[in-house]
Amino acid sequence: MYPTFYKLPSHRLLGLAVVLLSAASALAQPVYRQVDKNGKVTFSDQPPVVSNAPTGGPQPAGINAPTNAGLPYELRQVVQRYPVTLYSGEACGPCNEARTLLTTRGIPFEERTIKSNEDVDALQRLSGQNALPLLTVGSQQLKGFSDVEWSRYLDAAGYPKSNSLPAGYRPPPARPLVAQQAPAAAAPRSTDTPLQPPNPAPAPPSNAPGPNNPAGIKF
């Protein structure tokens, strides 16, 4: 199955159209999880080199794991090591399919929405493209929706294949990719502030007739 995308046709316009792009070759190959000596986690179709590197590692900057209080212990450990973030947009069919896959499988995830021009710019810097959906599993990016490919990476990260979330679990609400700042409120004017007197009339020029220059001589 080929991954499906929700394409933003220009850098500054948010009108959207769904397009199909070519998937990476050999989707049926196994995915291997690798950890380098610095603790950085990557996924590859090549078998990992045996090493004594510790499992897990620092989370990528800007990606926050969803609230995991109350999750089963094993699932909580996976969420902490490989947080899942879905980047989506409005009227995006592939995004809806992606959200359904994660929800049905019971994957705790954070969702970031792309709405404003600032969001589009941030998405371009993050992924190098302006197509949706985008899924991150730890530091790994999956561009375009493919249930087969996404499932393989979620399996490799250690997420359960069936829903093991506790009853009543609710994912965190979706948030814009770029936080919008509220405009600063104007400082209230004190009712006790006295009114300023009108500006005084300008002084006559020094060369105008006066006691010190009765003839009004100009220099």
Of the pLDDT bands very low, low, confident and very high (cuts 50, 70, 90), residue 212 is low
Enter the CATH code of domain 4-9+31-176.
3.40.30.10
Q: Is pLDDT larger for residue 185 or for residue 17? A: 185
The DSSP call for residue 213 is B
pLDDT of res. 43: 72
Cβ neighbours for 112, distance < 8 A, ≥ 6 positions apart: 85, 86, 87, 88, 174, 175, 176, 177
Bridging pattern class, strands 140-143 and 175-176: unpaired
pLDDT of res. 23: 38
The DSSP call for residue 168 is T
Of the pLDDT bands very low, low, confident and very high (cuts 50, 70, 90), residue 179 is confident
The 3-class SS string of 75-96 reads HHHHHHHCCEEEEEECCCHHHH
pTM: 0.59
Question: What is the share, in percent, of the chain residues with pLDDT greater than 70?
Answer: 54
Cβ neighbours for 115, distance < 8 A, ≥ 6 positions apart: 14, 89, 90, 176
Q: What dihedral do alpha carbons 14, 19, 24, 29 form, nearest 10°?
A: 110
Mean pLDDT of 65-85: 85
pLDDT surpasses 70 at 180: yes
pLDDT surpasses 70 at 133: yes
Buried b (16+ CB within 10 A) or exposed e, 127-141: bebbbbbbbbbbbbb
The DSSP call for residue 210 is B
